[in-house]
Structure formats: C-alpha cells, structure tokens
Amino acid sequence: MADDTATPDFRKDLIRYGGDAYPEIVEKALGCYVYDAAGNKILDFTSGQMCATVGHNHPNVVAAIKKSCDTALHLFSGMIPRSVVDLAAKLAALVPKPLAKSLFLNTGSESNDAALKMAKLATGGYEVVGLGGSWHGVTGNASAVSFASDRKGYGPGMPGSFVIPEPNAYRCPVKHCRDKCDLTCMKVGFQLFDMQSTGAPAAVIAEPVISAGGVIVPPPGYFAALKVEAQKRGMLLVFDEAQTAFGRLGHWFAASQLGVTPDIMTVSKTLGGGMPLAGVITSSAIEETCHARGFAFYTSHVSDPLPANVGLAVLETIERERLLERSRELGDYLAACLAELKDRHAEIGDLRGMGLLRGIELVKDRETREPHHALGAATTTRCLELGLSMNIRRRPERGSVWRIAPPLTVTRADIDLAMTIFDQALRESKDALSRERVPARLAPRARATGS
C-alpha cells in the first residue's frame, strides 16, 4: 500500500524554471523563518523572492486577505474597487511630486512593461536604454532591457533596446575606475547609444540599486546626471523600485532619498508583502498624454481588490511598526556585522548596499579580485544546511555576490544568528575546498537567474 504521508517528488510534474530548487518541499513560512517538510527551520535572508517586506504571513496581511474574502477577490477589469482607490490615494500622498497617478498590476515585469509602453507612447519614440546588470522582468519590453542573466536562446529581443555600462567601481565595466566611479561608464555608454540610435529615443530605465547585478550602489550624483542625459535626448526616466521602495533602503522610495524624481516609477515586490501586486506611478501630465493617445494595458487582473487590500495593509504596517526607522537602524547593524566578518575572512573582497539590502562579494585575492565562485557555491549550500537561506549571484564578469535582504521585521538576534551561521559556513567551506584542492576551472557554478 502506498504511503499517503510520504513527501511527493515535486520534480515529477513541474517544469523547471531556472535557478537551483530547494531540495525539500516547504510547508509554511512565518515572520523571518521558513519551515520545510523535513522539519528544518530556515532563517530567510531573502524575504522570499525579495517580496515578504513585513515578514511572512504578517497578521495584517492575513487580515487583509480575509477582508477580501468577505468583500471581493476579483472583478471585471473595468470595475474599480474601493481598495484600489484607497491605495492610489495613499501612494499619491507618499510619492515625490509631480508623480501622482497609479496603475495596479501583478508583477514587476508587468509594471515595467506598462511603464515602457507609456514612455514610448508619450515620447513617440521606441528606443530604451537599460543599465548593465539590471533585471526588470521576463515580459517583452522588460526582458529586452534586463542584462543580469537569462538572455540567451530566445531569439531577438524588443527592437530599440540598448545597454550602457553599469557604474560598478569594484569591477569597472569599461576598465577605467577602481573603487571610485567618475561616470565615465555613463558618458561612454551614451556616446555608443547616440551612434546607434535611429533618432527615436523613448526612455532610460534603471534600478536605484542594481540588485540582481551584484547589489551595485551607483555613486552620488549618478542619477541626477542620468536624468540630464535622458532629458537631452527627449527620453523619460523610469525608476524600477521593485526592490528599493517601501523601506528596504530605510526610506519610502529611493527617489526621495536620492533627490531625483523619475518621470515614471514602478513598484512591485516590496509593496505586496508576498502577494502579487505591482504598480506604475507617473505624473498627471504624462498620464493625460498617454490616455489621449490610446494607452491600453487591460489585463485580467488589473485593479484587483485582493492585492490592493494587501498593499494597504503593508503600508499601514510599515507606518505603525516604524519599519523605515528599523530598516535604517538594523541596516547599519548588519553592515557593522558584515565588516567584522570581512576582517576575519580575506575572501570577502567588497561589501556594499544600503539599509536592509546588502551585498557581499567573494574573491580569491583582494588585489586581483578574481571571483571565488567555488567558495560562493559551497558556502551557500552549507548555509542552507545550517539553517540560513541566502541568495548568491554568480557570473564570471560580475563576480560571486551574496544578496542579503531580510524582512524589515528582522531582529538583532536574527542578524546575529545569520552572521554566526555564515561565519561557520564560510570557514568550513574554505577548509573543505582546501582539502579537495578543486581546480578553479572545475569549480561548481550554478546559474544565477531571476530578480
């Protein structure tokens, strides 16, 4: 007789969609922890897929879902529920002016696709510039200007898509700077764009922190200069704040923190608290132009009531629990803890990030900065065995970088536990690799993917 209680093999019926699948089925998640079918308790330092802003299954999020069950889960796309009206009003009060009007969708891919369609319609152009290492999604417009991974094998992307080098002073893509970016990458990038442009510029899209590309924090003044370059060419500036808005960096929006307001802002991951919710926010003037020219983004789940209710709950929780202040405070604490680890481990070549979004880059030698992919892979595996989930980005040209982004509700005790596990995993992995003497060319390299 078959054992009905046995854990099923999830590989049997599922299409594999990239990245490394966790070996056990996950049974539940709560706060900063995930629990699997084998009984393991795992400290989640990636906030799910960077989305569980206020922790997994926060009571306010659960209550908002239950409220929707008593009112409305889904409506005809032309019907506007009260939760969508309230969420739009709330965002209009928070975003930097002249941003004012919102469109609510499901994913960051959708929001970036919609934003770029609006930019093309508003400008009459179709050429879009993205930054190297960026990740904006998997849909047509968004994937065409995503350069972190997953570009090969699918044929041509959207016509009019261009890339300029990212401002990574640790690994300068134009081999010019070392540790201090002087914006040469931007100047060279736009010179190359101008050579190739057919005279139909539309938009520049950028993440305030280039997350999937290795947690790259552009230097002071970068985005002000980027906006100038966009305006020179009649292009709109789009900020993709999927991972930087709503407290991740210690502020409501990176745009406010930077003092640079984009023409269009997209939000997603950090707004939904684990539910699929994304938004496009722009000025009344741009919205009016797009509407007059026939803008349409009429999806099955545009303006859905359930995710909007959850978005309102997330914003209320951030305010009530003072999570912006908490992100700044614990982000500083996390940075100090990581600095101590860097002092103990010569393989930690660089630390970067803001708030509760941090990056740790591993190298074989701090002078040559040769990436240590084998150590990154081994340490990530060992961390998971010890009860810590961390996301690593491994690409030859961008190094081996851990991306750390715990929920904003993380505690000092959680951070201390994570640092203890990470320290142990790093020491044990170094010892194991030293014993095995694995040649660099044979070192394991799992494919980094996704946002």
Quick one: 342 exposed, middle or buried, by C-beta within 10 A (0-12, 13-18, 19+)? middle
User: Which of the residues 243, 252, 382, 414 is marked catalytic?
Assistant: 243
- Nearest Cα neighbor of 355 from 310, 324, 316 is 324
263 is catalytic: no
Q: How far apart are CA 265 and CA 353, in angstroms?
A: 21
User: What stretches of 178-303 show up as alpha helix (H) in DSSP?
Assistant: 184-196, 222-232, 254-258, 269-272, 284-292
403 is catalytic: yes
Tokens of 308: 């909007």
257 is catalytic: no
Q: How far apart are CA 370 and CA 353, in angstroms?
A: 21
CB 115 within 8 A of CB 99: no
Radius of gyration of the chain (CA): 22
User: Which of the residues 44, 110, 207, 263 is marked catalytic?
Assistant: 207
Tokens of 344: 């103990």
The dihedrals phi and psi of 10, each to the nearest 5 degrees, come to -70, -15
User: Which of the residues 269, 326, 358, 395 is marked catalytic?
Assistant: 269
User: Which of the residues 229, 240, 241, 361 is marked catalytic?
Assistant: 240
41 is catalytic: no
16 is catalytic: no
240 is catalytic: yes
User: Which of the residues 113, 117, 120, 135 is marked catalytic?
Assistant: 135
Instruction: Say how many Å lie between the first and final Cα of the chain, rounded.
Output: 43
Q: Side-chain half-sphere of 345: how many Cα atoms within 13 Å?
A: 30
- Give catalytic residue positions: 135, 207, 240, 243, 269, 403
